[in-house]
């Protein structure tokens, strides 16, 4: 299938990032959400991200306009009838995802039966379970994008028990068109990235709380000593501490391994609303887009 038009449901950090990246690679995008507030937030995230690219000379003002012209923001799911790929980008809640795909499938299949491929951007949930309420279970596949989506070139391609090879191939073509490298993953708790990064972050917190080293020195050691692009604390802030906590809770529940047990320090930060880069504070403090813009004036 030649993917020309996609819909992304969920205008949060991930959904907005996926929409922006797809549009930047010439794909027409519908970005949907449940309410006006969520949709407005998604539009703001896309525009802020593009403005940051513009300030780094990564794109021109004309390219920004072209990218935005390819994204249509809407609350009406009927607008998505006939899209080639429908990507879900809501939080990792199994029941919510199951209900959403059942509704989306009914909407799309009534107008264009057998056409649309369905994608879940889950980081930890089994695709087979997400497809439980669908009729066409073979047309659901997992594509786990990582934030910030425009910058990270990896996509974990996760197939469920019923996922067809045709569906996987179509999703891979989309990933490659977006400049991503798809990595095949079979269903297992946490796939590759969440499964490996949660114990790393937990171990870093243990080292810090034991007084072995500061957060900065732990991050520096992992960067300079082991070639990490970011140390574990900076990486957790980039992912989002609420996301890291959700991964940890799910993996600990699924596997019962203490290496995945949610850390009290992360729980405290999340409870305070300090989620990392997206809120301006997590393990570290960050300047907001507005503050960075003021510095350049």
Q: For residue 297, is it within any domain? A: no
Q: 67-110, pLDDT tens digit by residue?
A: 999 999 999 988 888 899 999 999 999 999 999 999 989 888 88
Q: 175-208, pLDDT tens digit by residue?
A: 999 999 999 998 888 999 999 999 999 999 999 9
Q: Say which residues have a Cβ less than 8 Å from residue 170's Cβ, sequence separation at least 6.
A: 1, 3, 84, 85, 117
CATH number, domain of 119, equals 3.40.50.720
Residue 174 has pLDDT above 90, yes or no: yes
* 22/157 same-domain check: yes
Q: 3-state class of 185 per DSSP?
A: strand
* 109/91 same-domain check: yes
Q: For residue 40, is it within any domain? A: yes
Confidence bin at 259 (pLDDT 50/70/90): very high
The last residue of a domain, from among 186, 213, 239: 186
CA-closest candidate to residue 134, choices 171, 107, 158:
107
* 81/161 same-domain check: yes
Any idea what the Cα angle at residue 210 is, between residues 204 and 212, rounded to 5°? 75
The last residue of a domain, from among 124, 159, 186: 186
* 102/131 same-domain check: yes
Burial class (CB in 10 A: 0-12, 13-18, 19+), 280: middle
- Report pLDDT for 77: 87
* 58/167 same-domain check: yes
Residues 71/11, Cβ–Cβ less than 8 Å = no
Residues 158/188, Cβ–Cβ less than 8 Å = no
Phi-psi region of 230 (alpha: psi -120 to 50; beta: other; left: phi over 0): beta
* 11/64 same-domain check: yes
* 176/44 same-domain check: yes
> How far apart are the C-alpha atoms of 252 and 136, rounded to whole Å?
31
> How far apart are the C-alpha atoms of 15 and 287, rounded to whole Å?
23
Confidence bin at 112 (pLDDT 50/70/90): confident
> How far apart are the C-alpha atoms of 189 and 126, rounded to whole Å?
7
Range of the domain at 271: 193-292
Residues 155/149, Cβ–Cβ less than 8 Å = no
* 29/128 same-domain check: yes
E strand or H helix at 112, and its extent? none
Residue 292 has pLDDT above 80, yes or no: no
Q: For residue 118, is it within any domain? A: yes
- Residue length of the chain: 297
Q: For residue 95, is it within any domain? A: yes
E strands, 237-283, in order: none
Q: Where are the alpha helices (DSSP H) in 133-231?
A: 165-177, 193-210, 215-220, 226
* 47/129 same-domain check: yes
- Report pLDDT for 290: 58
Residue 210 has pLDDT above 90, yes or no: yes
CA dihedral 28, 33, 35, 40 (to 10 degrees): -50
- Report pLDDT for 295: 59
Using only the alpha carbons of the chain, give its radius of gyration: 19
The last residue of a domain, from among 186, 214, 249: 186
CATH number, domain of 243, equals 1.10.1040.10
Q: Which residue has the tokens 């795909």?
A: 101
Residue 219 has pLDDT above 80, yes or no: yes
Q: 3-state class of 222 per DSSP?
A: helix
* 129/34 same-domain check: yes
Q: For residue 210, is it within any domain? A: yes
Domains in the chain, number: 2
* 152/241 same-domain check: no
* 53/153 same-domain check: yes
């Amino acid at each position: 299938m030649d993917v020309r038009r996609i819909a992304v449901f969920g205008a949060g950090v991930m959904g907005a990032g996926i929409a922006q990246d797809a549009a930047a690679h010439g794909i027409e995008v519908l970005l949907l959400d449940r309410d006006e507030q969520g949709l407005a937030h998604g539009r703001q995230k896309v525009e802020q991200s593009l403005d940051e690219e513009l300030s780094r000379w990564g794109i021109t003002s004309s390219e920004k306009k072209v990218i935005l012209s390819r994204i249509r923001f809407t609350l009406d799911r009927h607008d998505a009838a006939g899209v080639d790929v429908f990507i879900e980008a809501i939080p990792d809640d199994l029941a919510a995802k199951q209900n959403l795909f059942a509704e989306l499938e009914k909407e799309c299949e009534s107008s264009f039966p057998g056409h649309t491929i369905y994608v879940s951007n889950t980081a930890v949930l089994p695709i087979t379970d997400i497809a439980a309420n669908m009729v066409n279970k073979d047309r659901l596949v997992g594509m786990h994008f990582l934030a910030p989506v425009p910058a990270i070139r990896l996509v974990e391609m996760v197939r469920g028990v019923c996922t067809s090879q045709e569906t996987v191939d179509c999703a891979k073509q989309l990933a490659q068109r977006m400049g991503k490298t798809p990595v095949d993953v079979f269903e297992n708790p946490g796939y590759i990235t969440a499964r490996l990064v949660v114990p790393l972050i937990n171990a870093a917190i243990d080292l810090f709380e034991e007084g072995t080293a500061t957060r900065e020195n732990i991050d520096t050691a992992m960067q300079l000593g082991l070639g990490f692009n970011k140390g574990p604390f900076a990486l957790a802030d980039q992912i989002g501490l609420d996301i890291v906590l959700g991964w940890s809770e799910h993996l600990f529940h699924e596997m019962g391994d203490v290496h995945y047990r949610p850390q009290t320090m992360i729980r405290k930060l999340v409870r305070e609303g300090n989620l990392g880069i997206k809120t301006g504070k997590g393990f570290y403090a960050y300047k907001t887009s507005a503050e960075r813009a003021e510095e350049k004036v």
